[in-house]
Structure 1
Amino acid sequence: MATSELVVGVIFLSQTVIGVLGNFSLLCHYLFLYLIGDRLRSTDWIVMHLTVANILTLLCKGVPQTIAGFGSKDFLNDIGCKLVFSFHRVGRNVGVGSTSFLSVFQAIIMRLRNTRSSDFKVKIDRCICYSVYLSWLIHFFISSVNLMHMRAKFINESTIELKSFLYCYWDCHDRTRDILYAALLLAPDIIFLGFMVWASSCMVLTLYRHKQKMQQMPRNKMSAKSSPESRATKTILLLVCTFVSFYTLSSLCQLFGALLYKPSWSLVNVTAMASLLFPTVCPFLLMSRDSRVSSFCLPSFPKPSDDELN
């Protein structure tokens, strides 16, 4: 086994173990709160979907990449290749959608914080929740393409017309079809990124106006603490910025891999590492900003207000 393969295997193993443990801890805490009858916020439900998507991404990408990194290549059969790539694609895209819905929901909450119509807020809440469930169905449908074209390499089979992903292969007889499929995969990402940019811009503008308003108030009327909504907004903005950075890198790598007829070993591994960055970091970022979770899972972290997320 080459040293480079060993290093890559250790990196994938570290990302997978750390990410799965972090997301599983976060998910278990929310489930515990739900089982003891504690009222979960609307954003908590979205975060639960996000953690499930992260776990799916880490297991379906991290575990096979770790095995391949340690030297084993053809360890999956046709069914295994189809399922692993399909579920990874679903987990990744639902993670994109959940992060987008989280930012949009927070932006709407900030706009409606002075609205007394509870019925309208309930409708917005339900709309966002149904959208998350719908994103699961849509991405299951899009990922079904992997069931037709992803497969294992048969013994002594030529790889001239197969695009290698280290342990599985993509049947690439038609280059035009591959480009169309890459566009189909990127379309939801672009839409969700557009929603994130819009929601983030609205939140930043609202925070700026709030800061300007507070500066105009007499000092004795200014609160020493920021509002729960402001703290929650800053948490989600930090999450979105982290997401956009990591997933922009991941999307660019995937685009290059889809357009290249024979992607290199380095590009395939860098693409996989980039796709695991956000699922690995995301739960720890959320736990460190929510005192309900950090006091239970991360007792060494500083404890913000109980109303960290809405």
Structure 2
Amino acid sequence: MEQGVLQLTLTWDGGQIVAAGVVSSRPAVARCLRGLPVARVLEIIPRLFGLCRCAQDAAARLSLQAARPERPVIAATSAQVLAVALEAVGEHLWRLLLDWPPLCKQAPRHSEFLLWRKRLLGVVDSAGAAVFGARLSAWLNEETPLQVGDGVAATAGALLPRLSAADWVAQADGAGFAEWPTFAGQPAETGALARHIGNPEVAALLARGQRIRARLAARYADLRWLAEGLSEPARLSSWLDAATVAEGCGLACVETARGTLLHRIELAGERVARYVIVAPTEWNFHPQGAFVREIGTTPARTRAEAVTAASRLVLSLDPCVPVEVKVDDA
């Protein structure tokens, strides 16, 4: 199945970006699952997503477990917790070593990334995870964080709070929620920034309106938290949660490098009656969300500067699909 793209249109007046629009051509994957046998759905979901496959798989299995609870406690397995955490580490390293350096006028660090990828693939149990986590913590202690140029002070937007699956039950339903979700009636941003709002460096950058730099600092903070958590698996388990909505209906929320992932499943016997998937991209690229709000009034003397500014903001919000940027005259 085609993954679709985010089409971002910038309106430029020759001196600054004055407006922006978002159109998504991402397919409604969850709708294709209706009517399928549950066993088939569990086979399909990891294959449908190029990114966050472990998180998608865990969310599917946990939501199903919650829909037909066979155990008193609905909880992720240690293997699921470890897989989701290692996947998030790999996503963060990919961005920090390959994608962010060119926007910070540095060369991508391909060989270093491949080394970390090899180490990640070598982790097969909790003991290996603890060794990997200690090595990653040591690397972070020696690493010089990337410094990215920020635009004008961005207007503050709502950050999505960390909610339990039970808290999400009343939120993650209703027409249109899956395509363009809102929290308390407003678009909200999810991801490392929302998770680490209490970090002093992140908070200081936000106070100055430097939201791109704050997101980058939050990514380092998230990576450090994950590295430390690999030695404390119980700590990482907070990233995966599920709750029974009603008989035959379950919901799971799983944290990813990009933010909160939601799955909600309704069963009709052993087949899917309804399936809802809400990925972080739907939050961060909402038509009135973080990208549209922040890119407006960004100075840009040329079209190329407008595209560069948009690319920097896009990467800080970390979509899970390709992006196309178009510049129109005001």
Instruction: Tell me the TM-score range normalised by the shorter chain.
Output: 0.3 to 0.5
Question: TM-score, normalized by length of structure 1?
Answer: 0.38
Higher strand share: 2
Structure with greater helix percent? 1
| Structure whose CA Rg is larger | 1
The higher-RCO structure (CA 8 Å, 6+ apart) is 2
